[in-house]
Chains A and B, each alone.
Chain A
């Protein structure tokens, strides 16, 4: 199952990266003579939208923007999370308490709101979205890594290393990080679902990707006006979003079984 889902995800990523090569049309090009073409057309396999843009091509390019944004965001969140979480766990108790308090305070903000606040300070565009999401998800990762590190610090091999006077940085590098790695991957996979959803939601609300960019959230936003007239405009981006999230969710579940 893990291999199937992982494989599917890898395929999705490859398709996303190869979008410029395999997309049948320019995702931004309007076809004024072919607006609202329903799916199944030989020229436009998944139909066209209100400007006559090819939905399949937009989905492919949209996968690129969504996956790259999400991967970038999850990387930023993991890096900052490890730095903050491990740092807190290894720091003197007072610093640790203060950092934990800060993390918990940030966690109290709803993710979308926090991302919106961050986004309004850095401006629109998918790189800004990645940055804002990365920062917004940092507290979640930081809490995770702090707890994991604290648990590891109680383990005998770490205590032994401490007993022979090993330096903390050495312990972090040799004992902690390698042991954190499996759960890190799991944590990343689990949070991809959330990050993709929030990234799409931001574009849907008009704060993420800038029109006419090919982006799943933007496509859903545009489809809203034509729900009755052209339901496929909403169905395909909604479906691919659901599928991607399911793949990440199931992969994470089976990954959890292995660890």
Chain B
């Protein structure tokens, strides 16, 4: 009988060994062993759903295809808009006529020349395929092809944020012939960018190769960029330390010390473009009561949440990421003050014994951690909250689209223009006539100072009315091997610009 147990034990051990073997194979299999000077290996924290720029708003997608596509104008990494496919542009007709002069001789990866027709077809496609960002382009009433290299956008009303939208990844320019042919861009992206798409091994890697005919002279410097899809944090960190990947942009803060100790990697810290918030459905009691929202906000120790869940950061008091030039000096603030919260409850005799539900998207572990901390913080002032974990599509559908929730946890990603923030608060069911008016005025104003003033007033209203509890902007860490030079990470869009990137020869 002992023999029989041993036998069973042996089977168990064999199974365990088998599992370990598979894990090892996965570890070894997904990272290349060659260390070429011309190949940049980038860790991607998840699989993109699609590589079609017009059907998604997911950062993972744009991290990959930013290098495959070009846009009319482009951000320089510091928030300025520079020339892209358009050599220059001018705004005429009191802001209603935007003329873009295209760079001649630009070729798509399939060999076709880029003309005004491609611009028209691409911008029209954004609306036709119902891009989640389509609203940013709704001011365009008509696209006129003046000649092969001049395209004129006619607007129904002046709309200052348009330039920033045209410089974002979701305004990518695709070849019109393929659009007409119904080409599947979600799997086979074809653009005019510095790298062309080579292959996508699902859940494995995405490989891009150098575009030899890129319009920017002498660029790109690399021959190849490989995105390795590594979803496990521990594996990503180990892979970078083992020289199996070169660039890493999602790390666990507890690993920072390890990276700092290693002489072979460098770590850079900058503010991300995220506004971490707790969205509140303000349409039903008790959350329709501003005083209840104030109490909820006063109970949150923002710095602690940022440090423990999000890897540190800077607290915010309104609906804008802290690093944005439009972030206002906000007067009102409902930041951490549990005594004041308790006093508010007592003074107004608020009834808060009903258990609230906090809906958390479970694809991003830090949000779950933050939710657990919020739950504890609210408990200390006597408010019970139950967590409801949902997957990402459910969150988008139920929380963001249908507003079927009470409280949630999310980070709003940044945009090149502050206007985009004001298209994104609808799911809180909160409305304010004054804010709507301010935003409308700001989008029709061209001068920067005046716009800034208007948005500041709008953001002050949000800080006062609390459709969200504003938590903070987290740090973003970009960790690279020491020899990686010239890598630009766009602060607002979280995407990489690999055009000037190269690997210095090893000593």
What residues of chain A have their CB less than 8 Å away from a CB belonging to chain B? 28-30, 32, 35-36, 50-51, 124, 206, 210-212, 224-230, 249-250, 253-254, 257
Contact = CB atoms under 8 A, between A and B. Distances in A.
Question: Which secondary structure characterizes the binding site on chain B?
Answer: helix
A51 B387 contact: no
B329 interface: no
B231 to A, nearest CB: 11
B233 interface: yes
Given A206-B362, A249-B8, A211 B233 contact: no
B387 A30 contact: no
A227 B234 contact: yes
Interface string B243-271: 00000000010110010000000000000
Interface of B: 1, 4-5, 8, 232-234, 237, 252, 254-255, 258, 304, 308, 362, 365, 368-369, 371-373, 375-376, 386-389
Shortest Cβ-Cβ A-B pairs, 5 listed: A229-B254, A227-B234, A212-B372, A30-B376, A253-B5
A212 B387 contact: yes
B258 A124 contact: no
Contact of A250 (B5, B232, B234, B304): B5
B371 A211 contact: yes
Contacts of A230: 254
B368 A211 contact: yes
Contact of B389 (A30, A32, A206, A253): A206
Contact of B1 (A51, A228, A229, A253): A253
Q: Is the interface of A mostly helix, strand, loop or mixed?
A: loop
Contacts of A227: 234
B237 A228 contact: yes
27 contacts: A30-B373, A30-B376, A32-B304, A32-B308, A36-B254, A51-B308, A51-B372, A51-B376, A124-B389, A206-B389, A210-B386, A210-B387, A210-B388, A211-B368, A211-B371, A211-B389, A212-B375, A224-B233, A225-B234, A226-B252, A226-B254, A227-B234, A230-B254, A250-B5, A253-B1, A253-B5, A254-B1
A29 B377 CA distance: 10
A227 B23 CA distance: 15
A224 B372 contact: no
B304 A225 contact: no
Given A50-B254, A254-B1, A257-B1, 14 more contacts: A30-B373, A35-B308, A51-B308, A124-B389, A210-B386, A210-B389, A211-B368, A212-B387, A224-B232, A226-B254, A228-B237, A253-B1, A253-B4, A253-B5
B360 to A, nearest CB: 8
A36 B304 CA distance: 15
A168 B203 CA distance: 57
A36 B252 CA distance: 14
B233 A225 contact: yes
B404 to A, nearest CB: 16
B344 to A, nearest CB: 24
